[in-house]
Amino acid sequence: MFKKTNLVLLGGPGAGKGTLSAMLKESAPFLHISTGDMLRAEVKAGTELGKQSQSIMENGGLVSDEIITAMVAKVLQKDEKKYGMILDGYPRTLNQAKMLDELLLKLNRPLDAVIYLHGSDDFLIKRLTSRIMCRKCNRIYNQYAFPPQKTGVCDDCNGEIYQRDDDSEASARKRLLTFHAQTQPLIKFYKAQGLLIQISCDEREAVLAETIKKLN
């Protein structure tokens, strides 16, 4: 049923976009585009973009709409459209959403749904500050709720588990402010297009089932 379904995952930091992406990818192959993962790869590789982005990310700000959109466009333009896609963490501003609409129109690849993972600020802060992830495969864990079996080592790939620099409480609060100011307007934008599906993000187990139910 997910064959060729084109999705945007929208939600505050820590809402579980990455986790839901991983679960969806288990039910069908998807082209998964996580702009956060892509930027972290640039930082790790020490590229010019990585150097520019690092402090922006730690301060909870956003990388420029043009740079991010160019990054996403490059992947989408190369893609053979064999599978559906998950845009995870993009778009994040109204301007990006408009740029994406234009791009998808050109590529003849319309969105089927925008899944908005909704949670209270308190909930998101708690989840963010206890989040840990794999440096190698980007799998996401939680220190308390679902840690890896062996402390510090990824269950899937034996990679090193770490906490993101921007998951400190101070950074997390700034990212949440950025979300409210810059990303929240997208909810109305996509609602007007009839694409929005809202799902509560606090029940980890229920999120996938709810998503599938509502997509159907």
Report the length, in residues, of the chain: 216
Which residue ranges make up the site for ligand ADP (CB under 6 A)? 13-14, 17, 35-36, 39, 56-57, 60-63, 68, 89-90, 92, 96, 166, 175
DSSP string, 125-165: HHHHHTEEEETTT--EEETTTB--SBTTB-TTT-PBEE--G
Question: Left (φ > 0), alpha (ψ -120 to 50) or beta: where does 176 sit?
Answer: alpha
Q: Report if residue 154 touches Zn ion, rule: CB under 5 A.
A: yes
Q: Quote the DSSP letter at residue 183.
A: I
Shortest approach of Zn ion to residue 137 CB, angstroms? 3
Q: 17 catalytic, yes or no?
A: yes
* Given the residues 40, 127, 139, 175, the one annotated as active site: 175
Q: What are 154's two structure tokens?
A: 């990824």
Site string for Zn ion, 107-146 (x = CB under 5 A): ---------------------------x-xx-x-------
Query: What, of ligand ADP, Zn ion, none, does residue 124 touch, CB below 5 to 8 Å by kind?
Result: none
Residues annotated as catalytic (active site), given as ranges: 17, 92, 131, 164, 175
